[in-house]
Amino acid sequence: MKTMTITTPDQYKAVVRSWYASDVRDDLVAGHSIELTLKRRKDTKSRLQEEKYHAMLNDISRQCRLFGKELPPISWKRVLVDAFKHETKDDPQFRNDWARFGDIELVPALNHPGFVMVGEQSRNFNTRLASGFIEWLLAYGADNNVQWTPSPAERAQHAAMTR
């Protein structure tokens, strides 16, 4: 069985033509039937997006303080995903994506007045939310003088280009 990920109509046409020319035509001419299954792939963030925002969270963790307190990247992630959702939940670009997360739970914040939403996890981000989160983190970093370091994928790409 062959599995392929196709993201554009041109890729679809090319793959189907190639598959037909190389594997299917002779079987059909010989009278055999062919089963073709197409499945819509779940829209999930890419590994590159995940690496990018994790590198950004590491930079924020090293360079920023929350009410004077140092936090590890995972804690910054929770705080920043919460802030990102708070600022984008009514934005038409993200409203339907956030709605898919379902119910949330509010718990009292530990170090400031207010509450923190729990339940949203970046592992459930689709590509649009992941891209929006990266853009939001860039703005947060600009407001807080964060100096960005490249993600592992960006370092590998740079190394490949300088060879």
**Residue 90 is encoded by which pair of tokens?**
């009514």
DSSP state of 151: -
Residue 72 has pLDDT above 70, yes or no: yes
Report the pLDDT value the prediction gives residue 24, as an integer from 0 to 100.
75
- pLDDT (average), residues 67-91: 92
3-state secondary structure (DSSP) of residue 78: helix
State the pTM of this model: 0.63
Q: Is the Cβ–Cβ distance between 72 and 61 less than 8 Å? A: yes
The strand pairing partners of 106, in sequence order, are 117
Residue 129 has pLDDT above 80, yes or no: yes
Report the pLDDT value the prediction gives residue 120, as an integer from 0 to 100.
67
Report the pLDDT value the prediction gives residue 159, as an integer from 0 to 100.
84
- pLDDT (average), residues 88-113: 83
- Match domain 47-161 to its CATH number in 3.30.1490.20, 1.10.10.10, 3.40.830.10, 1.10.3790.10: 1.10.3790.10
**Higher per-residue pLDDT: 1 or 17:** 17
Give domain limits for the chain: 1-41, 47-161
The strand pairing partners of 69, in sequence order, are 66
Q: At what angle do helices 73-88 and 127-143 cross, to 10 degrees?
A: 100
Report the pLDDT value the prediction gives residue 122, as an integer from 0 to 100.
80
Distance CA(26)–CA(155), nearest Å, equals 46
Distance CA(163)–CA(97), nearest Å, equals 41
| 144: exposed, middle or buried (Cβ count in 10 Å: 0-12, 13-18, 19+) | exposed
Q: Is the Cβ–Cβ distance between 128 and 97 less than 8 Å? A: yes
**Higher per-residue pLDDT: 44 or 160:** 160
Residue 11 has pLDDT above 80, yes or no: no
Residue 146 has pLDDT above 90, yes or no: yes
Give the whole-number percent of the chain exceeding pLDDT 90: 34
